[in-house]
Structure 1
Amino acid sequence: MLESFRASRWSRPVAAALLCGLLLLSFVLAHEGRRIAQVAVLALPALLWLRWPVTAPRWRRVRLVVVGATLLLFLLDSAVRTFLQSSYRALPDSALVLAAVANTTPREAVEYAASQGAWLAGLGALLVVLIAGVLGLLSICNRHESALRRPERWAIALLVLLCVAGLAIKPWRRHHPLVYWPAWAASASALKQSWSDQQRQRDALLWNARAAGARFTGTGPSTVVLVLTDSVNRDNMSLYGYARPTTPQLVALRQDEGDRMLTLRHAWSVEPGTVASLSGLFSFGTRDADDPVDRTHHVLALARAAGYRVWWMSNHDDTAIEQQHARLADSLEMINREPGRSGASLDGELLDCLEEALTDPAPRKLVVVHLLGAHPHYRLRAPAHAPGIAVAADSVDAEMVEEGRPAWLRASRRAYDRAIGYHDTVVAESLRLTRRHAPQGGDAAWMFLSDHGQEVGHDISHAGHSPGTPAGYRIPALLWRHGAPFDAQAAGRPFRADWAGWTLAELMALEWRGVRRDRNVLDPRYVWEAPRLAAPVTRFDQ
């Protein structure tokens, strides 16, 4: 039957129509609006060549290879874009993707692929079927031998002119896979290179802080601990009303501390990834991941200029974070020796480092503790002996079933909640240590927040980072200080992680030219401005 179809007079027209349809479908899935037409024009030369009559078998084979390779490039380009759009609502050249690629080792890439195995396997199978269909149709279309009639020649000539125009227009041409992906690789490489040694920028930030007159306005010793965590969504913390008892120790501390501990109920990250989020946090929301440092400030540089001794201790193995932030500290401790998602380094190992810093005789101390938190893989973020979440259906599991969440996602939620449970013990102990080693006759404060949220079946059936849903941005934010109570009204104010530096500056009693008190959530003059997120968030007070 297949051979009879190949031999029929309708085989090549039908095959050509199907081939064009499959390619157009892949473009529609990968692009939006006018971009679909632009990419179709860029792929058109290969299709036009197929209609040119070629009788020599050798040249037909050459054409089959060249056209086949070109169309495969377009299909692979579409597959990558479709995956990024459906999983992260991101383009390949977005800051999120470029930063992730530049900051990922080959081992981490393999681990990531393993973590997304089911989705990638499905997309891969679909791609294989699509490629097989395209190659089969291509072999049929490659048999044109009849001469072109005059109307066909005119039509092809006009289409060739359109193709030439498309290739001549740079905004169009840059989306051709042969142009786009080499440029993309160069951008990722340049970004990674820019992170390799940022000593000049760190020196500039310290100079900026001194030039701005950074000073300490307190009267005695001061200890401030900033606990940063990764991928923790406040929706999964019983402290914020979650049904599962994931944060019993923080709940108990809030009851013990009363108005000395503040839970910011409506805290949001403005970035879905760690690198961009921390860049915003430490630059008071004024600096992106790769912006120059001229006329900008960094929290750690200001603290050092005001006489603080700064520690940075981390359970991450991250070149970008180390170069941009950690090396601004006076003391640096990176305990993670197992980079990658499969690393099982536990956050609790940092508690000894924290206590050592807290007992240092320096009169002013800022200690930054950077935790892995609940970063995927979730099952590795807690020790084997940590209590788990019951497999038997509870109200959370029942709600997920009602929402149509698959079994694998419900299991991921249990693993995530187990990680939050272990995380609760580490975060609570960091507060206890801060309280225990508060300086006599001085001030002590503690601040905790996550860099971004995590989607584990909250808004969609997905587990992981999620730029396109509100769950990717909902974070916890907690404050504690020795002595003076907090204004309870601050708990209900919306809070942005990229403005956290202004609040941290108050806890450290820092002053400098250019302080924005209207961005400090503790200040009565605080004025909220809603951030622009890639996710559909209409209200930030819930």
Structure 2
Amino acid sequence: MSTIVRSRPAGIASVWPALRRLADFRPEMTVERLALIAAGFFTLFCNGAFFRAVSGTGALHGHWSTAVSLVAMVGSLNVLLLCLLLNRWTAKPLLIALLLVTSVAAHFMSQYTVYLDADMIRNILHTDGKESGELVSAGMLPSLLTLGVLPSLMVWRVRLRHRAMGRAVMVRGAWVLLAVMVASGAALGSFQNLSALMRNHRELRHLVTPGNYLVSLGRVLADDQAGKHRPRTPLGINAHIAGRPMEARPRLLVLVVGETVRAQNWGLNGYARQTTPELSRLAPINFTQVSSCGSATEVSVPCMFSPWGRAHYDKDRVKHSESLLHVLEHAGIHTLWRDNQTGCKGVCDGLAFESFEHASVPKVCDAEGCMDEVMLQGLAGAVDRRNGDVVVVLHQLGNHGPAYYKRYPTHLRRFTPVCETSELGDCSQQQIVNAYDNAVLHTDEFLASTIRMLAAQTDRDTALIYLSDHGESLGENGLYLHGVPYAIAPETQTRVPMVMWLSSGFAASRGIDMQCMKREAQAPASQDNLFHSVLGLMQVSTPEYDGQRDLFRACSSAAG
């Protein structure tokens, strides 16, 4: 009987040994050498946004030595960071985690010019699953695979060489010292140019990854731990209503906290498109020059409800103090926060709070969330259950990006074509603006509906104040979304719309001249004015009230 010999095709036979050798490839190296290779990888392949931003300042123009020094300095600092973080037991899992996170960070920094400072990290930590899901797209896959998954697989194949403890400590110390010396030498080599660069563009340090998010995360965790059991400082505990007759009708004030609407696209401000047709018919008081306290919700919302504002902003003090709503409660005014977002950022701690984030109301909600109209459901009943004056806050989902196309119902799809993806880099700027403007139309419709509901009230004097938390970049100068450090944030992120409406009964009871208010609304204002304007409007007397920042005072004849 003959033996049949099956042979592999010549092509496969030649490739097979190479594949076997690749599968068996498991290099052996020390932790320090692995740190050096990883630091080089991070520096050269994950810091594109940083080097592009530096180049954009003009600091490298004609200065090749400065470019070399900068690369050497960033590389050696990455070596230093990894030598301090990695050890024989944690090197591989920790480095894999860093690679995966850094690949995602590099994607967002390159696509949206995101600066990963402490405020941005705090925003990320407070983002819920629904919002995070909108940021995940197919556009992330190339970065995740090439900068995260593939390098992680290579790291997993590495065999780490063991050393005796004493020798390991000595070698690691030598590497740390060498990294410090190289970083210092690189900095001194182009000291004049690099010192000027970092002095004039301090925000650039928030683009150097992975150090940017690691340092910022450390700061956030340290702040949270320090204030974990720290009680809030009472504010306005002796507040009371003054100058108001006992027989006066109760008042209802609705504060609408907008999300990501910028002044430049607000129809009432003279925008080329009419994005506020409903409000235009109602002719409210529109403030045309309003600046925000921050460029992100985590800063702006607590700040606007504090007495200090941007002028005297101190994150720690604001975070651990009571807010405007607590002062109103101390004065005997009921408050209620209704939320279609990710919470009140501490502003309403200990007070009445209702979340509609996961509500299921027909026509206004679906599996992905609810339109802002959901917050008007049952509002009249909630107010009626509270005697006396009431202040209600409605926290919108508004224009929250990058999925602007999800922020409005079909009948408001007026500006086309629209960007129908969260990967804004795949759309033209006009498509992005079209989707964004449609979402502004929805805020206009929501505000008009709220005002009409308030105007129909027969047993209360009513008023509404709308103020967006911050603006948004829509691709101007390569910037998208928001959260750029305030010192360098463009006006598209820091100029916001503000609208006020008062019923005739409310205006009369407070002696407010509405024509005077419309003239005053042309002057510059800011979120700093909200705290004091609400107290003045509701006639709350407290030492925290500053009449100079009350927007109603100049046009009011009643005591406040």
TM-score normalised by the chain length of structure 1 = 0.66
Aligned to 2:298: 275
Aligned partner (choices 136, 152, 155) of residue 113 of structure 1: 136
Secondary structure of 1:231 counterpart: coil
Structure 1, unmatched stretches of 5+, are 4-17, 49-65, 140-156, 169-174, 255-260, 398-404, 526-542
Aligned to 1:301: 326
Deviations 1:279-307 (A, max 9, x none): 1011131555554666x551101111111
State the 1:366 CA deviation: 0.9
Aligned partner (choices 495, 500, 505) of residue 535 of structure 2: 505
Is the Cα contact below 8 Å between 1:313 and 1:370 reproduced in 2? yes
State the 1:267 CA deviation: 1.4
Matched, 1:485 2:502: no
Please tell me the residue identity of whatever aligns with 1:224: L
State the 1:445 CA deviation: 2.4
Q: Distance in 1 between matches of 2:98 and 2:287?
A: 48
Secondary structure of 2:496 counterpart: coil
Is the Cα contact below 8 Å between 1:308 and 1:366 reproduced in 2? yes
Please tell me the residue identity of whatever aligns with 1:210: I
Aligned residues: 439
Aligned partner (choices 371, 378, 402) of residue 346 of structure 1: 371
Q: Residues 89-104 of structure 1: matches in 2 within 5 Å?
A: 91-97=115-121, 99-104=122-127
Aligned partner (choices 337, 347, 350) of residue 325 of structure 1: 347
State the 1:19 CA deviation: 11
Is the Cα contact below 8 Å between 1:267 and 1:494 reproduced in 2? yes
Secondary structure of 1:348 counterpart: helix
Is the Cα contact below 8 Å between 2:117 and 2:213 reproduced in 1? no
Q: Distance in 1 between matches of 2:478 and 2:368?
A: 25
Q: Distance in 2 between matches of 1:499 and 1:197?
A: 31
Is the Cα contact below 8 Å between 1:232 and 1:450 reproduced in 2? yes
State the 1:232 CA deviation: 1.3
Q: Distance in 2 between matches of 1:356 and 1:281?
A: 28
Q: Distance in 1 between matches of 2:395 and 2:210?
A: 40
State the 1:359 CA deviation: 3.9
Aligned to 1:374: 399
Aligned to 2:282: 253
Aligned to 2:462: 444
Secondary structure of 1:476 counterpart: strand
Deviations 1:353-390 (A, max 9, x none): 33224444622111111111121322222234x23124
Matched, 1:41 2:76: yes
Is the Cα contact below 8 Å between 2:118 and 2:219 reproduced in 1? no
State the 1:88 CA deviation: 5.9
Q: Distance in 1 between matches of 2:349 and 2:82?
A: 54
Please tell me the residue identity of whatever aligns with 2:76: V
State the 1:129 CA deviation: 12
Aligned to 1:530: none
Deviations 1:188-236 (A, max 9, x none): 55667789998x43xx43xx3214x444443323321111121112322
Please tell me the residue identity of whatever aligns with 2:409: P
Matched, 1:364 2:389: yes
Q: Distance in 1 between matches of 2:305 and 2:500?
A: 17
Q: Distance in 1 between matches of 2:39 and 2:329?
A: 62
Secondary structure of 1:411 counterpart: helix
Q: Distance in 2 between matches of 1:194 and 1:107?
A: 29
State the 1:418 CA deviation: 1.9
Aligned partner (choices 144, 154, 162) of residue 178 of structure 2: 162
State the 1:448 CA deviation: 0.5
Aligned to 1:230: 259
Aligned to 2:237: 210
Please tell me the residue identity of whatever aligns with 2:513: P
Deviations 1:84-131 (A, max 9, x none): 55556554342222x1222124554343222xx43x346447647996
Q: Distance in 1 between matches of 2:357 and 2:95?
A: 44
Is the Cα contact below 8 Å between 1:103 and 1:192 reproduced in 2? no
Is the Cα contact below 8 Å between 2:471 and 2:482 reproduced in 1? yes
Aligned to 2:453: 433
Percent identical pairs in the alignment equals 22
